[in-house]
Amino acid sequence: MSVDSRRRKLVQAVWIYTAVAVLLVVTLAPLFWLFIMSVSPAKELTTVPLHWIPDQWDFSRYTRLLSNAAGIDSSVSAEFLATLRNSVVAAGGATVVAMVTAIPAAYAISRYHGRMPLLYGMIGTYMMPPVTYVLPLYIAFSVMGILNNVGALVAVYCTMLLPFTTWLLKSNFDAVPREIEEAARIDGAGTLAIIWNVVIPLAKPALGAAALLAFLSAWDEFFYALIFTSDLRAKTLPVAIADFAAGRITDYGLVSAVGVLAALPPTIFAVLFQRSLVSGLSAGSVKG
């Protein structure tokens, strides 16, 4: 290898690692500062010059939020726990419904290409701005009497998640060899048995990636939750955080603690299923 070639590779490596370092700093610095704010005494958050590292670490805000003990922050704690429960139910329920519906839909579209226009129509609705559907959905939910209801949020979130999960699973089902399915049919397996015993085991990474991305999308959704909810019966965590940050709470550290706790579930899921996410998103790009 020539000196110029080595030098070129060294320069490329330096640029790559520098870009990765910058990306990590830009991504992690806000999260790190959010955590520092959540454990800093209230006085240090308003002092000049700013304290980047607290002199005394205070984790009492997390205890107050999660314990729902009586006191000055009891209403904040009650709202946080209620909206956390609503977010779990709405995001988890929408993910389950979307996956159960998307699996047979994606298989049908993958194996019967005449149904591709249906997928194109679904993707088209997915790409339209959410504000387009607000008025008809609001009128429909009002007539049915399910405004300010977690079930209504599950239905709305499914309209977002189902087109995306169907498209993602379809591209991965395309990569499943048809010969395996034909062998199962010769042995007497029906369509549902083939999907359950053949296709799903071979497409587990895609299922994990689709479920993870669907859950994250529903967990972070703000616009529909803001429009269709009004109190703690259905209000989700992103809406509650917006209420807290709008001035209802004067302790910025408490608002930061709410943000850290809200970021924990999707972060944990992403770390646990990162391998499925990467392999599931790349599996459908190369057909076997």
Write out pLDDT tens, residues 81-122.
999 999 999 999 999 999 999 999 899 888 887 667 777 777
pTM of the model: 0.83
Give all domains of the chain, ordered by start, each with its CATH number.
69-283 (1.10.3720.10)
Q: Residue 16: CB partners within 8 Å, gap ≥ 6?
A: none
Percent pLDDT > 90 in the chain is: 27
What whole-number distance in Å separates Cα of residue 83 and Cα of residue 238?
9
Positive/negative CA dihedral, 181, 182, 184, 189: positive
53-79: average pLDDT: 77
Least confident of 31-40, 166-175, 245-254: 245-254
pLDDT confidence of residue 69: 53
